[in-house]
Amino acid sequence: MLFTLGDQSYDLGTFEYYFLKNSERPSADSAQIKIEEYLDLYINFRLKVLEAKNRNMDQDPAFIEELEGYKSQLAEPYLTATQYNDSLVMEAYERKKFEVSAAHILLRVDENALPADTLQVYNRLLDIKSEIEDGLDFSIAAKKYSQDPSARMNSGNLGYFSSLQMVYPFENAAYDNPVGSLVGPIKTRFGYHLLKVIDKRPARGQIKVAHIMIRNQSDSLAEEVKKKIFSIYENLQSGADWNEQCKIYSEDKSSAPKGGELNWFGTGALVPEFENVAFALENKGDYSEPVQTRFGWHIIKLIDKKPLPPLEEIRQELEARIKRDSRSKESKKEVLATLKKSQDFTLDSAVYKQAMAGIDSTIKFAKWTYDSTSTLLDQSIFSLKGGTYSVEDFYKFVVEAQRSRSNADLADYKNQLYERFESQSIMDAELAYLEQNNQDFKLILDEYESGILLFNLMEEEVWQKALEDTTGLSAFFEQNQSNYQANEMLEVRKLSAQDSLTLVKASQNLDLSNSQLDSLFNSQEALALQVDDLKVEKGEIAFLDTNWELGNHYQKEGNFYTLWVVKEVLPTRPLALNEVRGLAISDYQSHLEKLWVASLKEIYPYELNKKVLKRFVKTFD
171, 432, 434 from 426: Cα distances, Å: 31, 10, 12
d(CA 168, CA 328): 9
Q: Per-residue confidence at 331, pLDDT binned at 50, 70, 90? A: low
Q: Per-residue confidence at 112, pLDDT binned at 50, 70, 90? A: low
Query: What CA dihedral angle connects 293, 298, 304 and 305, to 10 degrees?
Result: 20
| Structure confidence by residue, pLDDT tens digits, 598-617 | 999 999 999 999 999 999 99
d(CA 340, CA 230): 67
- Please choose, from the candidates 499, 534, 501, 495, the residue with its C-alpha nearest in 3D space to the C-alpha of residue 516: 495
Backbone angles phi, psi at 310, to 5 degrees: -60, 155
Show the beta-strand stretches assigned E in 467-572: 485-486, 489-497, 530-537, 551-557, 560-570
| Structure confidence by residue, pLDDT tens digits, 367-381 | 999 999 999 999 999
For all residues of the chain together, what is the average pLDDT?
Answer: 89
d(CA 449, CA 442): 10
Where helices occur in 238-284 by DSSP H, the ranges are 242-249, 272-280
| pLDDT beyond 60 at 230 | yes
Q: Per-residue confidence at 334, pLDDT binned at 50, 70, 90? A: confident
d(CA 586, CA 484): 13
Task: Output 400 or 117, whichever has higher pLDDT.
Answer: 400
Please report, rounded to a whole number, the percentage of residues in the chain having pLDDT higher than 90. 58
pLDDT at 77: 67
| pLDDT beyond 80 at 315 | yes
- Please choose, from the candidates 465, 587, 442, 454, the residue with its C-alpha nearest in 3D space to the C-alpha of residue 45: 454
| Structure confidence by residue, pLDDT tens digits, 461-516 | 999 988 889 999 999 999 999 999 988 899 999 999 988 888 989 999 999 998 88
pLDDT at 342: 84
d(CA 15, CA 19): 6
pLDDT average, residue stretch 127-134: 93
pLDDT at 80: 57
d(CA 215, CA 226): 10
Map residue 110 onto helix, strand or coil.
Answer: coil
Map residue 188 onto helix, strand or coil.
Answer: strand
| pLDDT beyond 90 at 268 | no
206-306: CATH class:
alpha beta
Question: Would 98-202 and 206-306 be classified into the same CATH topology?
Answer: yes
Q: Can you state the angle between helices 31-54 and 581-603, rounded to 10 degrees?
A: 80
| Structure confidence by residue, pLDDT tens digits, 536-560 | 988 888 899 999 999 999 998 877 8
pLDDT at 431: 83
Q: Per-residue confidence at 150, pLDDT binned at 50, 70, 90? A: confident
pLDDT at 84: 54
Map residue 362 onto helix, strand or coil.
Answer: helix
Domain-by-domain residue ranges, the chain? 1-54+448-477+578-621, 98-202, 206-306, 343-437, 485-574
d(CA 536, CA 553): 14
Q: Which CATH architecture has domain 98-202?
A: Roll (3.10)
pLDDT average, residue stretch 52-60: 94
251, 259, 260, 428, 610 from 216: Cα distances, Å: 10, 21, 17, 55, 68
Please report, rounded to a whole number, the percentage of residues in the chain having pLDDT higher than 70. 97
d(CA 207, CA 26): 38
Q: Of all helices (H) and strands (E), which one includes residue 479?
A: helix 470-479
Going 127 to 129 to 134 to 139, the CA torsion angle's sign is positive
- Please choose, from the candidates 212, 309, 301, 298, the residue with its C-alpha nearest in 3D space to the C-alpha of residue 266: 309
